[in-house]
Amino acid sequence: MLTIDSFDKKSVTYYSLDEAKVEKIFEHHIGKGEIAADLEPITKKSRLYDFFKFQESRVLRNRGRINPFNIDDYIANYGYQGLLKAIELNNSDEIIKIVSESGLRGRGGAGFPTGEKWELCRKATSSSDIKYIICNGDEGDPGAFMDRNLLESDPHSVLEGILIAALAIGSSKSYIYVRAEYPLAIETLTHAIKQAKEYGLIGENILGSKFSFDVEIYEGAGAFVCGEETALIKSIEGKRGMPKPKPPFPANEGLYGMPTLINNVETFSNIPQIIVNGAEWFNKIGTSTSKGTKIFALAGAVKNVGLVEVPMGISIRDIIYKIGGGISGENEFKAVQIGGPSGGCITEEFLDIPLDYERVKEAGAIMGSGGMIVLDEETCMPNLARYFMDFIQDESCGQCVPCRIGTRRMLEILEAITKGKGERGDIEKLEKLGKAIKESSLCGLGKTAPNPVLSTIEYFRGEYEEHIETQKSCERLHVKIKVKKV
């Protein structure tokens, strides 16, 4: 996709490009100032028109519009104005008040109020004055690439958010935890830090103030469990990434035993605009409990896939049928899986609920970091549950018995069912195991591990039963069972 802006004409966006089409665009549009011959830009009649029309680009506002390797591009688009305002305020209480009043909640999945977390960390005491900030970029959900895209396309918005948070809680050191398999994100971020230091935005006495701050990138090894904040802390400390019980929470006792603020990439990217535009500007969008926008990686059986940023409160139906363009092919909608491996499936009757943390949870899923996979009627739900359980079981740290053994046993049962070797009572065993794992696991990974299984059993129990009764595998059994009404 390519967007061309000019001073005397409207922006024009071309899509579905290849090398030959780009050459034609440069020849005609750039060279002659005319729409490239035989290439249709996005108009109201285009398939992708609604894909953009119903989005609300705030966090993704700079994606594709600035050069991520040029700090001047970011500054020219009001970059670092939030940091400047925060330094001029010189009042941590006021900064945290703005963030709290905005209603911003953590975009990493749990949705904890950001301002409240900052306040807890600011008030935390220790044997020294050291406080740390960790930006969690350990994006491990299959098919999720929200944080990676932000780090690759707009790294300075993340850095600016971290710097503002540091002013608010009194921190002088930050670690940005990024997966090693994101080489472009690491390269872009490394260059952004270097440029910010050259411009006096990171280092000693930032912008002539008494505020000094340093940022370091830490490359993670790719363990899914390290997305959990206590496991992430151990990883940075050079230990095996394994969660530990809470409390104490990282805000009181985190990295190296010091108070530590942990937010994810998308959360930090929201901060600069909130400080510049104010809390009221941010919370005009959303529901009573979930404000602002949320980025999702829309994938699966929809015509339009990719990263989408939508206002909180939009219906899931609008995301699928307006932004996503509806179900691809001739099959009908079956369910949408939200929340990654720890999420759940939402069925037709829940598509019109407003998108917010509480309503999604009530429907049987979790917001998660932003994975959204649309499923059509050809999808075998027991096999889908088996796929996610296989991932979770493989990624379990093995520290607690419920997660280590429980997920393995659930996977064994699911594999038997999907291979046509299931037995009567297997469904009840899955439900019993799932409940036990949720109630007794050590960390959030284990507590949410059974979600895909339990939600598919709740709404698609008939598919499990038919696998068991017919003793047929997924390859031989093509089920199109009506969704359970509740």
Q: What CATH class has 293-376? A: alpha beta
The pLDDT value recorded for residue 466 is 93
**Residue in this structure with the two tokens 């602002």, named with its chain if needed:** 292
Distance CA 256, CA 243 (A): 15
Q: What is the pLDDT of residues 170-196, one digit of tens each?
A: 999 999 999 998 999 999 999 999 999
pLDDT for residue 15 is more than 80: no
With a cut of 80, say whether residue 47 has pLDDT above it: no
pLDDT tens, position by position, 249-262 = 999 999 999 999 99
Nearest residue to 419 via CA among 474, 378, 478? 474
Q: What is the pLDDT of residue 482?
A: 39
Exposed, middle or buried, 81 (CB in 10 Å: 0-12/13-18/19+)?
middle
pLDDT in the model for residue 23: 84
Q: Are 400 and 449 in contact (CB under 8 A)?
A: no
- Asked if pLDDT for residue 99 goes beyond 70, the answer is yes
CA 52 to chain centre: 19
- In this prediction, residues 227-256 reach a mean pLDDT of 94
Q: What is the DSSP letter of 419?
A: B
Residue 232 contacts residue 226 (beta carbons within 8 Å):
yes
What is the tens place of the pLDDT at every residue in 396-405? 998 999 999 9
Q: Mean pLDDT score of the chain, rounded to an integer?
A: 90
pLDDT score of 36: 72
If you write DSSP's letter for every residue of 371-404 in order, what string do you get? Answer: EEEEEETT--HHHHHHHHHHHHHHH----SHHHH
Q: What is the per-residue pLDDT across 304-347, written as a single tens digit (0 to 9) for each? A: 999 999 999 999 999 999 999 999 988 999 999 998 888 899 99
| Secondary-structure class of domain 381-470 per CATH | mainly alpha
Bigger pLDDT: 159 or 17? 159
Q: Are 174 and 212 in contact (CB under 8 A)?
A: no
* 130: helix, strand or coil: coil
d(CA 241, CA 219): 13
Cβ 211 vs Cβ 167: under 8 Å: yes
- Closest Cα partner for 179 from 141, 205, 133? 141
Beta pairing class for 214-220 and 333-338: unpaired
DSSP 137: E
Q: Compute the residue count for the chain.
A: 486
| CATH class of this structure's domain 71-283 | alpha beta
Q: What is the pLDDT of residues 407-451, one digit of tens each?
A: 999 999 999 999 999 999 999 999 999 999 999 999 988 999 999
- Measured between alpha carbons, how far is 311 from 55 in angstroms, rounded to an integer? 7
Q: What is the pLDDT of residue 83?
A: 98
Average pLDDT over residues 158-181: 96
CA 296 to chain CA mean position, Å? 7
- Strand order across the beta sheet in which 333-338 lies: 306-311, 293-300, 371-376, 333-338, 344-346
Of 28-42, 101-115, 179-193, 326-340, give the lowest mean pLDDT range.
28-42
Find how far residue 8's CA is from the centre of its chain.
37
Q: For the chain, what are the domain ranges?
A: 2-46, 71-283, 293-376, 381-470
d(C-alpha 464, C-alpha 381), whole Å = 8
At 266 the three-state DSSP class reads: helix
Q: Phi and psi dihedrals of 153, rounded to 5?
A: -105, -25
pLDDT of residue 288: 94
Indicate the DSSP class of residue 345: E
* Residue 484 scores a pLDDT above 60: no
Give strand pairing partners of 307.
297
Residue 217 has pLDDT above 50, yes or no: yes
Work out the average pLDDT over 276-297. Answer: 96
